[in-house]
Amino acid sequence: MTEESDLTSTLHFQLAFIIPSLFVFLGGLFTILAFRLARYMYGFILEQIGRKKVKDKDVWWLRKRKQSSVYLVRVFFTHVEMMLSAQTSMGCVLVILVFLLNIGSLIIYFVNLAEEEGYQISFPDSIIYVDTGFNAFFLFYFGLRFVAADDKLRFWLELNSLVDFFTIPPVFVSYYIDRNWLGLRFLRALRLLELPRILQFLRVTKNNYSIKLSKLFAVFIGTWLTAAGFIHLVENNGDPWVQPANSQSITYLKCMYLVMVTMSTVGYGDIVVQTALGRTFIIFFIIGGLVLFANIIPEVVEIVESHKSYKSSYEVVSGKNYIVVCGNITLESVTTFLQDFLLQDTGKVCTEILFLGESLPSLELEAVFKCHSAYTTFFYGSALKSGDLKRVGMESANACLILADVCSPQPYTEDTCNIMRVLSIKNHYPNTRVILQIIQSRNKVHLPNIPNWDCRRGDNIICLAELKLGFIAQSCLVPGLSTLLTSLFIGKENTETKRKYLKDKMLLGDKDYKVMTFQLSNDFADMTFIEVCRLCFVKLNLVLLGIELKFGSRGESTILINPSSGIKLHWNTMGFFIAHSLAEVKKAQFYCKACHSDIQDPEQIKKCHCKRRVHSRSFSEILKLHSGSLVSHGEPAKSRSFINLPPQRFVDGVLDVQGKENSRVILDPTGRFHWCDAVPLQEALLSCNDQAALNLQDHILVCVFGDANSPLIGLEDFVMPLRASNFIYHELKDIVFLGSLEYLQREWKFIQNFPKLWLFSGSALCCADLRAVNVRDCSACAILSSNTTASSNPSLVDTESILATLNIRSMQDKPSSASLDAVFRGRALGNQSEPCYKRIPITTELKSSPNAQFINQAPSGNSEIPEQDQLSTTAAPAGAIFSDSFLNSLLSMTYYNHHILALLQTLVTSGTSPALEEQLLEMDSGLSRSPDDMVQNASQLRCKLALLPLSERLLTGVTEDSFGDVYCKALDLFGILCFGLYRLMEEPNPYKNRFVIARPASDLKMLPTDLLFCLVPFNVATTDDQRGEMESQLGSKKTGGQWAI
Q: What span, in angstroms and rounded, lies between the C-alpha atoms of 1022 and 1018?
A: 10
Stated length of the chain? 1045
What mean pLDDT is predicted for residues 1018-1023?
70
Q: Which helix (H) or strand (E) holds 599?
A: none
Judge whether residue 899 has pLDDT over 60: yes
Judge whether residue 953 has pLDDT over 50: yes
What mean pLDDT is predicted for residues 90-97?
84
pLDDT at 1008: 86
Which amino acid is it at 895? Y
- Residue 952's pLDDT band (cuts 50, 70, 90): low
Least confident of 416-420, 836-840, 880-884: 836-840
pLDDT at 851: 80
- Residue 613's pLDDT band (cuts 50, 70, 90): very low
pLDDT at 489: 82
Least confident of 31-40, 613-622, 993-1002: 613-622
pLDDT digits (tens, 9 = 90+) for 806-816: 888 888 754 43
pLDDT at 1032: 43
Average pLDDT, the chain: 76
Residue among 909, 520, 973 at smallest CA distance from 723: 909
Residue among 350, 356, 314 at smallest CA distance from 334: 356
Mean pLDDT comparison of 381-385, 490-494, 654-658, highest-scoring range: 381-385
Q: 3-state DSSP: the chain helix, strand, coil percent, rounded to 5?
A: 50, 15, 35
Higher-pLDDT residue of 200 and 717 is: 717
Least confident of 391-395, 489-493, 830-834, 1005-1009: 830-834
Helices assigned H by DSSP within 975-1041: 1024-1033
Strands 842-846 and 780-784: parallel
pLDDT at 389: 94
Q: How many CB atoms lie within 10 A of CB 458?
A: 15
Residue among 752, 842, 747, 880 at smallest CA distance from 440: 747
8 A C-beta contact, residue 529 and residue 1013: no
Percent of the chain surpassing pLDDT 90: 15
Q: Is the pTM of this model over 0.85?
A: no
pLDDT at 124: 59
pLDDT digits (tens, 9 = 90+) for 819-867: 334 444 333 333 333 444 457 888 888 887 778 788 765 444 443 333 3
pLDDT at 266: 79
What mean pLDDT is predicted for residues 157-179?
84
Judge whether residue 33 has pLDDT over 70: yes
Q: What span, in angstroms and rounded, lies between the C-alpha atoms of 121 and 23?
A: 35
Higher-pLDDT residue of 437 and 865 is: 437
What mean pLDDT is predicted for residues 764-774?
90
What are 674's strand-pairing partners? 667
Supply the DSSP string of 135-162, one letter for each residue.
HHHHHHHHHHHHHH-S-HHHHHTSHHHH
Q: What span, in angstroms and rounded, lies between the C-alpha atoms of 513 and 981?
A: 13
What mean pLDDT is predicted for residues 242-257?
84
Q: How many CB atoms lie within 10 A of CB 724?
A: 20
- List of residues 6+ apart from 581 with CB closer than 8 A: none
pLDDT at 552: 64
Least confident of 280-294, 570-584, 825-839: 825-839
Q: Is 188 helix (H, G, I), strand (E, B) or coil?
A: helix
8 A C-beta contact, residue 718 and residue 750: no
* Ramachandran angles phi, psi of 791, nearest 5°: -145, 150
pLDDT at 987: 79
Least confident of 124-128, 180-184, 546-550, 878-882: 878-882
Supply the DSSP string of 928-977, one letter for each residue.
-S-S-HHHHHHHHS--EEEEEEPPGGGS-SSSS-BHHHHHHHHHHHH--E
pLDDT at 560: 87
pLDDT at 65: 52
Q: What span, in angstroms and rounded, lies between the C-alpha atoms of 259 and 265?
A: 10
pLDDT digits (tens, 9 = 90+) for 625-684: 433 333 333 333 333 322 233 333 333 333 333 333 344 568 877 778 888 889 999 999
Integer angstrom CA distances of residue 780 from 164, 477, 486, 724, 802: 79, 7, 20, 18, 17
Helices assigned H by DSSP within 817-962: 867-870, 885-888, 890-896, 898-909, 914-921, 933-940
Query: What sign for the dihedral angle of Cα 264, 268, 269, 270?
Result: negative
**Rg of the chain taking only CA atoms, in angstroms:** 41
Q: Which helix (H) or strand (E) holds 595?
A: helix 593-596
Judge whether residue 870 has pLDDT over 60: no
pLDDT digits (tens, 9 = 90+) for 211-247: 888 888 888 888 899 999 999 888 888 887 777 677 8
Residue among 557, 1007, 540, 475 at smallest CA distance from 783: 475
Residue among 161, 194, 11 at smallest CA distance from 169: 161
Strands 351-357 and 321-327: parallel
